[in-house]
Structure 1
């Protein structure tokens, strides 16, 4: 954005005062901080659970982070339209760093979950505003190419993140996977304040606080139901029914509030554009798939295949390598064949990757897991780049912040729902498997017994029968998780066909 924005809030890409290469570098550094966080924490989670215990709360470590990320992303997007990108992104990074420091000092799984809430509260600013800044300072044609650069951040983090995370876990401590964010965040803030200069029209802001509260209540209630339903609470219990009612009522009031607010957190008017509507819904379903792979694949590789954290990280690395490669390809394909065809190719790869994970077995080895992960990354790179460029090309500057945040919100919401839903499926299926197949051993085995599989020394001390029961249960349960991932891949693929055939938008 910088001084690329005049009093009317229109773009001026050629403004000589904008140091675009330096701004882009600062934006990429901020995104790298968020990207490496995702790959390192997923790699370290088995070690964290092995140290702190509480496997039944495994998905909550992701859900707590993703919940605050999902809720705040729209607020940050709107605030960036009102106050400028730089101050809001800076605030988000600072909160993220505070949460990171606290996560490293967590002494229990419950403490870690609380600190992940704080971390997620700041993370909501990073990806959407960083992506919006690129939309501000580059033309429509340039955006497709620059999105490839931004996605390369995931490739770099994919190579360094899991490997670094694995080494920190094995040779130092898992706590450093959170503390490594500190120098990255400080450098990103310095770059933004040196090179991104803004001129914002002064006006009294109208912030939709009520909309933010209603959305938080609705998503939180739904997430608790998805995590706890069927495991700690029966689906027909008063707790589940009450929370579902609260979620539905809060969401209905949220819609009503957004229609009457002067500056709605989620302007539903932009959803009337079919490319935006389809991109947002498809981002929701792909977000569910993404968390299913990144959260649970390392647990399978370490707990069932009995491989090291570094090898487990490698399976996620392949996805994060495929993603930027495909994003770079998408930048060229968008200009040649359009958003729809590029997205269709992405949907095909998402489905193929999901099929490979459904057929994953203990004997297949980590190469098979990595191959499925790589195909999925190709699919995510093609679809996500198509969706972001399409959305940014559909709206003007004054709505670009919230429009970009909306698509990020839908993916984060998918992550949030996915972590809860798939985590609930995993816990429920584990519980049922032990009851059905445990025999006399079932009295000594619970969902939290899976903790022992994720710690090499504890796993080696387990009696053979119990170890095999736990591994068979984890294998069976994760197959159910990946059947759900495949279902959402097929839904995403079908949604893409509803994109208009001639959806090359003229707004830049």
Structure 2
């Protein structure tokens, strides 16, 4: 018994290290990206660094979940961690923006295994009544990442180089693998599983096509051509059409497959279907906040990369505090209570962000982040706990990966659509700047009338005061549009949360009379 408890403890430690990598990746990358863009160029490619990572991790999540149900969680988790570390090494060696984007995609393929399989393994090991408390451990990891991530990211780009944001993944990931290999025990599957490769191929193709259309639509092509694609352009329309055809083909295949990647009957369970919608919308809003707040404070307020990294700490601390509180109270209230309250607070926070301008203080931004983060944190612990309690062990990997899939695809679509919105608003805002400031030297005109100039402290000091104010207004207008869209997303999420029903982690005991009646009916 002692050895069994020791192994469970070691497994949890190893999985928490994997979660730490995932959380650090978000906080470090978000704070380092303005400096990366400054060094490698291409502000129009800003959202691609996040989008490609989430695109590949999203597409691979259901596949990892299904294969884990068939072949075991351990093999797939370690394979994913290994691929994630390989991608990290290649990202650190990237010599240009396009190389970094490609290697971030490879890194995302490995990341698709980390969070969903960790949740599944913990669901296998930890009894239902203790899963709420496990959220406290998750919150501890998020708190640690929120405290050290921005600091590490800011210090790396200020005192070392941006490549170090990827080097940090290697020792943590290696430690997780070395812990899990001996500690995680699984019974071998001696059957001959049937793998739905055709379903996996059409699903990945559909996700990639639709997300590429969302990334490219209304903004630059992202391929260095400088061309702009409208939503009705042949490239974007063709990608949407291809995605729709592959999606329809995937749904048909899933009705015929022996072991479908995503068993469609799962969506008949209201907990799974509503939780998937809430996860999608919560993540779409959350990643918008995490991605664009550092850009705003560094470009508009004019803080250093180090302080821009710290500016996210209140948001992450608020998320962690709310996750801890929600995990401890989850056995007392229905899941709907947390989801509704979370969406209300998230929407309030986004509406406050949408009021920001060049005169907004750092203290105001911090208050807005605390409100938003607390709303997000109330929702997070309900997502996995509700699904794990609603499904049997044989499909637990598939179901939890499905929710993580919708959470990830929500973040991917959120960053992509909000990025296209921001790029479009910046383009319209800078349209007349060249004519208005034509007196500038020809070799400075393009450089000084690009909002990217706000991210370079050396260039920023050379800007005329009136041009600096104009660029700040352009970037503010663009980012405010992102948060107005986030407010709408939270409002839709509130409607979805109301449909959750009265499901809860631990059902209240039935009164004696009701129990007797139920026993009589069963008899």
Q: Report the TM range for the smaller structure's normalisation.
A: over 0.9
Which of 131, 147, 150 is the equivalent residue of 1:159? Answer: 147
Which of 6, 17, 20 is the equivalent residue of 1:32? Answer: 20
Which of 336, 340, 344 is the equivalent residue of 1:340? Answer: 336
Partner of 2:298: 302
Which of 353, 370, 375 is the equivalent residue of 2:366? Answer: 370
Which of 354, 357, 365 is the equivalent residue of 2:353? Answer: 357
Contact 2:330/2:505 (8 A) holds in 1: no
Alignment of 1:25-424 (within 5 A): 25-231=13-219, 232-424=228-420
Deviations along 1:262-289, whole A, 9 cap, x unmatched? Answer: 1111111111111111110111111111
Partner of 1:482: 483
Deviations along 1:195-238, whole A, 9 cap, x unmatched? Answer: 11111332112222222221222222222222222231122222
Partner of 1:9: none
Gaps of 5+ in 2: 220-227, 508-523
**What value does the CA root-mean-square deviation take over the aligned residues?**
2.0
Which range is displaced more, 126-135 or 371-380? 371-380
Contact 1:60/1:113 (8 A) holds in 2: yes
CA distance in 1, matches of 2:335, 2:188: 32
Change in 2 beyond 3 A, CA 1:25/1:502: closer
Displacement, 1:437?
A: 6.0
CA distance in 1, matches of 2:344, 2:128: 26
Contact 2:385/2:505 (8 A) holds in 1: no
CA distance in 2, matches of 1:308, 1:182: 27
Alignment of 1:439-458 (within 5 A): 439-441=435-437, 444-445=445-446, 449-458=450-459
Displacement, 1:193?
A: 1.0
CA distance in 1, matches of 2:267, 2:185: 31
Look at both structures and tell me which one has the larger radius of gyration over its CA atoms.
2
CA distance in 2, matches of 1:134, 1:382: 20
Displacement, 1:466?
A: 3.3
CA distance in 1, matches of 2:448, 2:482: 15
Displacement, 1:342?
A: 2.1
Deviations along 1:284-339, whole A, 9 cap, x unmatched? Answer: 11111111111111010001100012221222211211112111111222111121
Contact 1:393/1:505 (8 A) holds in 2: no
CA distance in 1, matches of 2:98, 2:127: 46
Report SS of the residue matched to 2:330.
Answer: helix
CA distance in 1, matches of 2:279, 2:89: 31
Displacement, 1:375?
A: 2.0
Normalising by structure 2, we get a TM-score of 0.91
Displacement, 1:439?
A: 4.0
CA distance in 2, matches of 1:349, 1:311: 26
Which range is displaced more, 177-186 or 325-334? 325-334
Partner of 2:224: none
Contact 2:297/2:303 (8 A) holds in 1: yes
Displacement, 1:501?
A: 2.0
CA distance in 1, matches of 2:492, 2:66: 30
Contact 1:434/1:446 (8 A) holds in 2: no
CA distance in 1, matches of 2:158, 2:379: 36
Gaps of 5+ in 1: 1-12
Contact 1:315/1:373 (8 A) holds in 2: no
Contact 1:218/1:250 (8 A) holds in 2: yes
Normalising by structure 1, we get a TM-score of 0.93
Contact 2:282/2:343 (8 A) holds in 1: no
Contact 1:275/1:503 (8 A) holds in 2: no
Contact 1:275/1:499 (8 A) holds in 2: yes
Deviations along 1:321-378, whole A, 9 cap, x unmatched? Answer: 1112111111222111121112222222212221221122222222222222222221
Aligned residues: 494
